[in-house]
Amino acid sequence: MIEISLSASLVMYKPDLVELDRTLSALQRAAQVVRQDYAVRLELTLVDNSYEDSWHQRIQAQVEKYRGAMPDWSLYLLRSPGNVGYGQGNNLVIKQTDSDYHLVINPDLFVEPEMLVQALRFMEANPDVGLLTPAVFGEDGARHYLCKRNPTLFIMFLRNLPFGWIQSLFKSALARFEMRECNYDDLIDGVEYSSGCCMFFRTRLLQQINGFDTDYFLHFEDADISRRMLKIARVVYVPSVRVVHRWTRGTHHSLKMRLVTIRSGLIYWSKWGGTFG
């Protein structure tokens, strides 16, 4: 049996360590399942963007505990030179890995036990796919509609508004953006905008497009990398690959994060254009 290598990066900034424990425990369960079907080498790098010595020491202590609890993963901790942002934090791992596949995962994302085996099964059978996006559900079991079309300036403006009544006036436009007309129980090929909470890449192609665009600090780097990947390979939503996301929508509760999102949206728009369509 040929060995498959899978690397993963998890970028964090002052994380909830209890939540992180749940994320890593889920990865370990998924590793146990995937090893029943594949000879797979698994490497996970935690990237600490917290930059404060006290936080790094706390995370170091947690990682030492995780090493014993995650025997199926080679576990590494990488301290970034500062709070370099989501894309750059992931790039620190992406640029140096020699894996077959690379998983980008958030610290509040919990993979289902079958997630890795289902992802590898699909990617091995479809060598022209560069990026797989999973089915995402909330902790309450509700589906998150995260297969999206390329965002326009108008859509970015609508989604960043704190007033739900205005968004309700453009419900059909927002539904089209989230590809609500598609059956999320079936494969969706040609996804233009995959959610950055969980992205399963073919590493060779990910490195070919030079990973994430580091002009983005946070938000819309996933829209950008999906669009660039789609130029050279298929981007496919696979419903059998399932994850749970503890989504808090921090942008809607923090003025600072709202401003970060606006800045990223303007960077995306200046690069790709698209005002109304």
What are the pLDDT digits (tens) for 193-224? Answer: 999 999 999 999 999 999 999 999 999 999 99
pLDDT value of position 276? 84
pLDDT value of position 249? 56
Judge residue 214's burial from the number of C-beta atoms within 10 Å of its C-beta, 0-12 exposed, 13-18 middle, 19 or more buried: middle
- Answer yes or no: is 242 within a domain: yes
Distance, CA of 255 to CA of 236 (rounded, Å):
34
CATH classification at residue 218: 3.90.550.10
- Answer yes or no: is 135 within a domain: yes
Give the model confidence (pLDDT) of 33-48 as tens digits: 999 999 999 999 999 9
pLDDT value of position 253? 60
pLDDT at 166 over 90: no
pLDDT at 252 over 60: no
Q: How confident is the model at residue 248 (pLDDT cuts 50, 70, 90)?
A: low
CB neighbourhood size of 1 (10 A): 7
Higher pLDDT, 161 or 120: 120
- Give the Å distances, CA to CA, from 192 to 65, 144, 148, 188: 39, 16, 6, 10
- Answer yes or no: is 150 within a domain: no
Domain count across the chain:
1
Q: How confident is the model at residue 257 (pLDDT cuts 50, 70, 90)?
A: confident
Give the model confidence (pLDDT) of 147-159 as tens digits: 999 999 999 988 8
- Answer yes or no: is 195 within a domain: yes
Give the model confidence (pLDDT) of 53-111 as tens digits: 999 999 999 999 899 999 999 999 999 998 999 999 999 999 999 999 999 999 999 99
Give the model confidence (pLDDT) of 89-101 as tens digits: 999 999 999 999 9
Judge residue 113's burial from the number of C-beta atoms within 10 Å of its C-beta, 0-12 exposed, 13-18 middle, 19 or more buried: middle
- Answer yes or no: is 217 within a domain: yes
The answer to whether 179 touches 145, Cβ cutoff 8 Å, is yes
Query: Token pair for residue 273?
Result: 């254009």
Query: Token pair for residue 125?
Result: 């059978």
User: Domain limits at 37?
Assistant: 4-142+183-246
- Answer yes or no: is 161 within a domain: no
8 beta partners? 44, 103
- Answer yes or no: is 276 within a domain: no
Q: Spell out the residues 6+ positions from residue 35 whose beta carbon is closer than 8 angstroms to its own.
A: 72
The answer to whether 120 touches 6, Cβ cutoff 8 Å, is yes
- For residues 27-59, b (16+ Cβ closer than 10 Å) or e, as one string? bbbbbebbeeebebebbbbbbbbbeeeebeebb
pLDDT at 250 over 70: no
| 3-state class (DSSP) for residue 86 | helix
The answer to whether 124 touches 110, Cβ cutoff 8 Å, is no
Calculate mean pLDDT across residues 5-11.
98
- Answer yes or no: is 125 within a domain: yes
Query: Token pair for residue 18?
Result: 């209890």
The answer to whether 202 touches 129, Cβ cutoff 8 Å, is yes
Q: What share of the chain is helix, strand, coil (3-state, %, to 5)?
A: 40, 25, 35
